[in-house]
Amino acid sequence: MRLSEVYLVARREYLENLRTKAFWIGILTFPLIITLGICVPLLLARAKEVRTFAVLDHSGFLLQQVEEKIAAQDLAAAFEGAATAYRQGGAAFDQLPAPLRQLALGLLPLEENQRAQLIGQLARQDTPADTSGALPEATRALLAEAGALRAWQQQISAAELKELGLDFAQNRYRRIEAPPGESDPQARLNQLVAQGELFAYFIIGPDPVAGSQDCKYVSRNLTDTELHDWFSGLATGLIRQQRLAKVHLDPQTAQWVQAPLAFSGRRLDEGGAEQQVAFGDKARQWAPLAFVYLLWIAVFTSAQMLLNSTIEEKSSRIVEVLLSSVDADELMAGKIAGTAASGLTVVGSWSVFISLAVAIVPGLLGASAMAVAQIVANPFYLCSFVVYFFLGYLFYAALLVSIGSLCNSLQETQNLMMPILVPMMIPLFAMVPVGQDPNGLLARVLSFIPPFTPFVMMNRAAGPPALWEYLATALLMVAAIALAIRAAARIFRIGILMSGKPPKLREIWKWLRTGEVR
């Protein structure tokens, strides 16, 4: 085999791949998926319609308490935003609405527990009466204007809230009054829900403190539980407080009684010493799963690219021209090498994107997300990914290039592709059990089965496996690749110039045994 001819074929194959749309789609797929994964949920959350709901309160007290709790949470959020603007100084604070400025100036002088109590007072529908001289002057002024503050809070529009950067409950939920004067208000609410004019409604039983009897949530969409969880969470907290008061149990005592027995996780380092388990340690265990998915996509896409190229050249008779200059073995080796270079270029671009994302946009990520990003950018994972991509690609490329040489169109490959797709799917099905026990018996056995080795060893990277397993599986893959290429070469020599229907499996087996057509 002449290496110079193999190089020329590989160079041609690589440049041809660079001119295809599939190559550039492969380059852009990964950053596009990551970008969409971050942006789309945010955009969908913003585009989500406000959930309208109604409440039939047969208790006579719980709905009012829930609304006061909601108002208190909104006021707390408004105070945090105004206080931040006040601390930063400048014109940002002066441009806030007068009620927000007064809220910040009135609450800033207080301690945190005093602040929480006063916010609860401000949220109540009755005007707070505590305007004693013990409070700072700004706080007394705030209490005196509590009615104006509540009016501003109730009348502000969603557009104004968005401009101020405030996340009030009304941005997501809006309660409408139950139809007045109805003999059967529940029937009327059912009708509104059925017509789509109302998302859902709640029914509060006559004695929610005693139990949940007669409490209902009615909606046509029970998969979206956000409204249900939000309202029931508020109501549950208020009812729990009343139940504790009814049995004369201090809330702190109740919290202590309900506190779980926590066993703090520890891990052993290489020296056998105990260390605390950080978030990054837990994330590191599951980080290889993402690499396994990407590895599978990269290997399959690159091998499929080689298959398509082989079939296209055979069906268009270009292969006959190529074989006039190089022999079949040189052509096959060049095509595999050229497509491998294309795949490595794609994988390399993904690695560069990950590294740049971690280096450039750390401020856009939270602490936990940043830890995950740094783990993903770990050179050990990236190098393992490149190595296992190369080994996995060479193995499956040898199989697919032989299939491509037998077929004249993609339709003819369907039956022959199944024996290759099945072993490629098994590592995906085994990802979770292997990730849970990366050094267990199942993981070790699968590691030494060549069709599974690249994916399983990548999945076990968090273990990590012993050094001898890396060496043994690498040598096993090299031997398997050599056998696969040798078998593929026998099929390729004969099949690349054949026309008509693809041969049967019995004929292919004879080629593998003898290397000749019978």
The most confident of 217-231, 316-330, 348-362, by mean pLDDT: 217-231
Residue in the block written with tokens 């980080």: 287
Confidence check: pLDDT of 50 > 50? yes
Rounded to an integer, what distance in angstroms lies between the CA atom of residue 92 and that of residue 76? 19
Task: Work out the percent of the chain whose per-residue pLDDT is above 70.
Answer: 86
Report which of residues 85 and 231 the model is more confident about. Answer: 231
Q: Which pLDDT belongs to residue 479?
A: 94
Q: Which pLDDT belongs to residue 493?
A: 79
Neighbours of 177 (CB within 10 A): 7
Residue 368 confidence class, pLDDT cut points 50, 70, 90: very low
> Cβ contacts of residue 294 below 8 Å, gap of 6+?
30, 350, 385
- Average the pLDDT over 378-398 and give the result: 81
- Average the pLDDT over 443-467 and give the result: 87
The dihedrals phi and psi of 326, each to the nearest 5 degrees, come to -130, 160
- Average the pLDDT over 92-100 and give the result: 86
Confidence check: pLDDT of 29 > 90? no
Rounded to an integer, what distance in angstroms lies between the CA atom of residue 199 and that of residue 306? 52
- Average the pLDDT over 42-61 and give the result: 83
Confidence check: pLDDT of 127 > 70? no
Q: Which pLDDT belongs to residue 376?
A: 57
Cβ–Cβ < 8 Å for 266, 276: yes
Residue-wise pLDDT tens digits, 469-506? 989 999 999 999 999 888 888 888 787 777 767 777 77
- Average the pLDDT over 403-418 and give the result: 75
Residue 67 confidence class, pLDDT cut points 50, 70, 90: very high
Cβ–Cβ < 8 Å for 108, 54: no
Rounded to an integer, what distance in angstroms lies between the CA atom of residue 441 and that of residue 438? 9
Report which of residues 416 and 200 the model is more confident about. Answer: 200
Cα dist from 290 to 304, 361, 458, whole Å:
21, 20, 10
Report which of residues 411 and 220 the model is more confident about. Answer: 220
Q: What is the mean pLDDT of the chain?
A: 80
Task: Work out the percent of the chain whose per-residue pLDDT is above 90.
Answer: 15
Q: Which pLDDT belongs to residue 475?
A: 94
| Residue 511: both structure tokens together | 């080629």
Rounded to an integer, what distance in angstroms lies between the CA atom of residue 135 and that of residue 110? 9
> Cβ contacts of residue 177 below 8 Å, gap of 6+?
54
Residues 422-431: contacts with CB within 8 Å, 24+ apart?
A: 423/451, 423/452, 424/296, 424/299, 424/300, 424/396, 424/451, 426/451, 426/452, 427/292, 427/296, 427/452, 427/455, 427/456, 427/459, 428/292, 428/293, 428/296, 428/455, 430/456, 430/459, 431/289, 431/292, 431/459
Q: Which pLDDT belongs to residue 518?
A: 44
Residue-wise pLDDT tens digits, 166-220? 888 888 899 998 877 777 888 999 999 999 889 999 999 999 999 888 899 999 9
Report which of residues 41 and 308 the model is more confident about. Answer: 308
DSSP for 410-434, written as a single string: GGGGHHHHHHHHHHHHHHHHTHHHH
Per-state percent for the chain, helix, strand, coil, to nearest 5: 70, 5, 25
Residues in a beta bridge with 202:
55, 217
Q: Which pLDDT belongs to residue 478?
A: 93
Residue 517 confidence class, pLDDT cut points 50, 70, 90: very low
Confidence check: pLDDT of 155 > 90? no
- Average the pLDDT over 440-461 and give the result: 89
Strands 266-268 and 274-276: antiparallel
Rounded to an integer, what distance in angstroms lies between the CA atom of residue 376 and that of residue 62? 48
Q: Which pLDDT belongs to residue 203?
A: 94
Q: Which pLDDT belongs to residue 516?
A: 53
Q: Which pLDDT belongs to residue 472?
A: 93
- Average the pLDDT over 323-348 and give the result: 83
The most confident of 84-88, 272-276, 462-466, by mean pLDDT: 84-88
The most confident of 30-44, 380-394, 464-478, by mean pLDDT: 464-478
Cβ–Cβ < 8 Å for 297, 394: no
Report which of residues 66 and 266 the model is more confident about. Answer: 66
Report which of residues 240 and 1 the model is more confident about. Answer: 240
